[in-house]
Amino acid sequence: MNGSTIIFYLLAALTIVCGVLSVSTRQIFRAAIYLIFSLIGIAGIYFWLDYQFIAAVQVVVYVGGIVVLIIFSIFLTQQAGELLPKQKIGRKIFSVLAVFCGFALTMVQVYQHAFYENDGEAVKPVVANIGKQMLSTKQGGYALPFEVVSILLLAALVGCIVIAISKKEETA
């Protein structure tokens, strides 16, 4: 048992515990904070796997972007200190049952399946390699999906503006 193993299990515990707390706490602001720590745990696992670029993107986009957006919308829509309403116990029991059965089924399948590693020279996931393949139009390049995602982001931006325009200006 070395330091790397200990760090991995600490990150795993952080991710799962904060994820569970995030969906079970009744204070919505705490749920957002637990979500931040769960996402940071996942970024740590990416660092542990030596995927530094993805870890950085995870921290920047999720922790710096999406969760901040969620916290702002909590401030805009929720009264401070108000607890979320309690759920019916029946719904909770059936949800736990469904989730547990699904989890058990998935893990049984995963442990019965023998994964085999493909040989070949490993490509280092560094920024130079990522950028080259991302913008390449040759075989194995990702230029087309890149453009599709940029169109999607543009459409999402326009959609947000259209939704957020207040109705008063239309009638005036």
Partner 1 sequence: MMEPGLYQILFISAALFFTGVYGFLTRRNLITMLMSVELILNSVNLNFIAFNKYLWPQKMDGLFFTLFVIAIAAAEAAVAIAIIINLYRSHNSIDVENAEDLKY
Residues of this chain, 72-111, that bind partner 1 according to CB under 8 A: 73-74, 76-78, 84-85, 87, 91-92, 95-96, 98-100, 102-103, 106-107, 110-111
Among 10, 52, 57, 127, binds partner 1 (CB under 8 A): 57
Both tokens of 132, joined, read 């080259």
Q: Which residue has the tokens 């490993």?
A: 122
Nearer to partner 1 by C-beta: 80 or 123? 123
144 binds partner 1 (CB under 8 A): no
Among 37, 47, 51, 56, binds partner 1 (CB under 8 A): 51
Residues 105-143, buried b or exposed e (16+ Cβ, 10 A)?
eeeeeeeeeeeeeeeeeeeeeeeeebeeeeeeeeeeeee
Site residue total, partner 1 (CB under 8 A) = 81
Among 66, 127, 135, 143, binds partner 1 (CB under 8 A): 66
- DSSP secondary structure of 99-122: HHHHHHHHHHHHHHS---PPPSPP
Q: Residue 33 contacts by C-beta under 8 Å, 6 or more apart in sequence?
A: none
**How far out from the chain centre does Cα 22 lie?**
13
Query: Smallest gap, in angstroms, from Cβ of residue 82 to partner 1?
Result: 11
Among 5, 137, 139, 171, binds partner 1 (CB under 8 A): 5
